[in-house]
Amino acid sequence: MDLVPPSNGETLVKSPMVDVDAVDVKQVDEETVALEVTSEFETDSDDSDGDDADSDCGRAIQFLRDDQLHEVPGGCTLEEAVAFRKRLHDVGKVAFVEETIVLETVTAKKLCTAFGIRPPEFLENAPDEAYHPLLAVAISREFSKRPKLPQYNTIEDAVNLLQKSKNIIVLTGAGDTGLYSKLAHLGLSDPQEVFDINIFREDPSIFFSIAKDILPTEKKYSPTHGFIKLLQDHGKLLTNYTQNIDNIEANAGVLAEKMVQCHGSFANATCVKCNFKVPGDAIFDDIREGKIPECKACIQSIEQEALKPQGLKRKRSSNGNQKDRKEESSDEEDYEIPTPGVMKPDITFFGEGLPDEFGQRLIHHDRELADLVIVIGTSLKVAPVAEVPGILPRNVPQIYISRTPVTHTDFDIDLLGDCDVVVSELCRRAGWNLQHHMIPADEKVEITPVEGYESRHVFKVVGA
């Protein structure tokens, strides 16, 4: 199915019916998926022409967030979009298309906006049938999402889930948006290159130039991580999947057997040459001084090798005669002086695989045991960690806690605001004693519903 305009500039071929079975979100080509990740996850601005829009596919599919619906003339309101999505999940794809497109109760162009696709400019004057291919993608994309469980909506529902659940998965985020903004001064085309394993191998100084700014603060942790420890104390924590690299959950007291550090951590470091391992804090002094930490095992090996009797360094010709001085000079230039390996913190760089424990534990252990999922402080940008909520059974309730909601995953309850404020209020209502010096004893929290969403609530400290 074509998703792009023909090369001659004509409009898409008319289709008498939206072939919803012909498109599966998992079958959309990699370029489309890449665009989806870029436009929906990684930018806060309006969809605009950029590097990713160079492809025809990029021009054809531009994704809308809910807060952008009002920007599209003739598009769905938020209330209409929510109703259309619910109807799709209630009746299925075929029946939904029949009662909307076939009966012409709404245009395909407008329906595209309900499912998060902005009508492309090149179709502005095209007949409505021209939007059918895009609508097929939009409907399949929406239908593949885990549907919200309608029985969970209120703060009381969230508290009850906390109290009755016995095997809770907590997914915590890295909170690295601010970090990447700090890296722009390096002049990299993409600040994530600081954490690119290939760049690290070529020039580790790029990473170590900023590493001192992201070293973990020793033994400090936030109320949010104290909340995870409290779940553990109550015998309710199944696993904490964390994207943090500063070992902050361990600082809070979360046990190693209850935690999967999806992106590794600074807790240990490994030599890139000989795989010699040391505790992470063994290289912290070098990092703080802006030095590239070198492997002591490699240094010792080189020193021992230097004490051995050395053979002739000069190459000889086949008849045993020494080469002339000109050749000697060239040979010595080719001689490689032994150097120690670099100690790399055991954080998972882009280009490296996640720990085997991640998939093994999630699929073969936690998937069938989990009875509640709590996602805290992450916008779920980075795969495969972002895929955790979708991998778990759809009947397992899911709560989302962060400052802003996400639109690509439907959680059952969204609790919006400062994560520390949200978890402390939940604990108060659950009758749990979450003690932390950052939580005032007399703290009062105001909770207000978000218009148009019965299960979305905003937490704010009174007087803040």
Q: Scanning the structure block, which residue is given the tokens 């021992």?
A: 304
295 is annotated as contributing to ligand binding: yes
Cβ within 8 Å of residue 69, ≥6 positions away? 75, 76, 77, 78, 81, 113
Write the DSSP symbol of residue 110. H
| Residue 243 in tokens | 């994207």
Mark whether 364 is an active-site residue: no
Q: What does the angle CA 263 – CA 265 – CA 271 come to, to the nearest 5 degrees?
A: 105
Could you say which of 225, 263, 408, 457 is catalytic? 263
pLDDT at 64: 82
Is-above-0.75 flag for pTM?
no
427 marked as part of a ligand binding site: no
| Element containing residue 390 per DSSP (H, E) | helix 388-391
State the alpha helices, DSSP H only, in 183-273: 197-202, 205-211, 223-233, 248-252
Please name the residues in contact with 436: beta carbons below 8 A apart, sequence gap of 6 or more: 222, 223, 226, 420, 424
Q: What are phi and psi of 322, to 5 degrees?
A: -70, 150
Q: How far apart are CA 386 and CA 400, in angstroms?
A: 13
Contact predicate 236/166, CB 8 Å: yes
What are the average pLDDT values for consecutive 10-residue runs of the chain, which has 464 residues?
31 42 40 31 32 40 83 93 90 92 94 92 90 91 86 97 97 62 57 82 89 77 94 97 86 93 88 94 91 93 83 45 47 69 90 81 92 92 77 94 86 96 96 93 93 93 86
Q: What is the pLDDT of residue 238?
A: 97
Cα atoms found within 13 Å of the Cα of residue 224, Cβ hemisphere only: 23
